[in-house]
Amino acid sequence: MEMNKKIYLVEDTADLRTLVEFLLTRMGFNVESFATAGDYLKRIAITLPDLVILDIMLPDGNGIEICNHQKADPATSQVPVLLMSANIYSKEEIQERADVQFISKPFDIDDFANKVKGMAGMAPA
């Protein structure tokens, strides 16, 4: 079960944040939301989650850069990242692999749920 699994959600648009939070909470995840990259980076420096859902276009940062940085840092490299973007070019800029994936806006909520389930399950507890 996904109980106790922790997901960090980084999304600056409040209504979308609320929607995703609602979906994830209903699925049984423990969700912490951040509206800025700054707040998120402070938090992950203290505690690692089981999955990060990261918007690419953030007011104070770029999700791809944050992801790359995180994957290069041994402290955070184990955390899987799901990137969300409306910009389909972004998909070409990232190397998709098992623990780094991409979902483009607008997404179907069932597809989204399946992707999250798959990724959160592979993370170390």
Partner 1 sequence: MPDISTAPIDQVFLDELVHFSPFAIYTCDRDGYLTWFNQAAVDLWGRTPVIGKDMWSGSWKTYYPDGRLMNQDDCPMALTLKSGKSHERSEIKIEQPNHQFKDLLVFPRPVFSNSGKLAGAINTLIDITEQKKAEKRQSTLSAIVESSDDAIVSKNLDGIITSWNNGARRIFGYTEEEVIGKHITIIIPPHLRSEEDMIIRNIKAGKKIDHFRTIRIAKDGSERHISITVSPVKDGKGNIVGASKIARDVHEQLLRENEIRLANQRLEIMNSIGTGLLGKVDEHAILQKVTDATTKITGAAFGAFFYNMVSDNGESFMLYTLSGAPKEAFERMGMPRNTEIFHPTFAGEGVIRVDDITKDPRYGKNPPHNGMPHGHLPVVSYMAVPVVTPGGSVLGGLFFGHPDAGVFKAEHQNMVVSIAAQASVALDNSRLFQEVKALSIKKDEFIALAGHEMKTPLTILKGYLQLLEKGEVDPLKRMFLDKSVHQTNRLNTLIEELLDISRVEAGKLSLQYEYFDFRKMAYDIMETFRYTNETHEIIVVNTKKDLFINADMQRMEQVMNNLLGNAIKYSPKANKVYLDMDIQNEMLTVKVKDEGIGIGKQDQDKIFTRFFRVSENKNISGLGLGLYLSKEIIERHGGTISVTSSKGEGAEFCFSIPINKQQGN
Residues that bind partner 1 (CB under 8 A): 13, 15-16, 19-20, 22-23, 57, 86-89, 92, 105-110
Compare residues 41 and 113 and give the one whose CB is closer to partner 1: 113
65 φ, ψ to 5°? -65, -45
CB 34 within 8 A of CB 99: no
Compare residues 16 and 48 and give the one whose CB is closer to partner 1: 16
Compare residues 60 and 73 and give the one whose CB is closer to partner 1: 60
Q: What is the nearest approach in angstroms of partner 1 to the Cβ of residue 102?
A: 13
**CA 113 to each of CA 26, 49, 74, 101, 125: distance values in angstroms, whole numbers, following the listed order:** 10, 17, 28, 13, 19
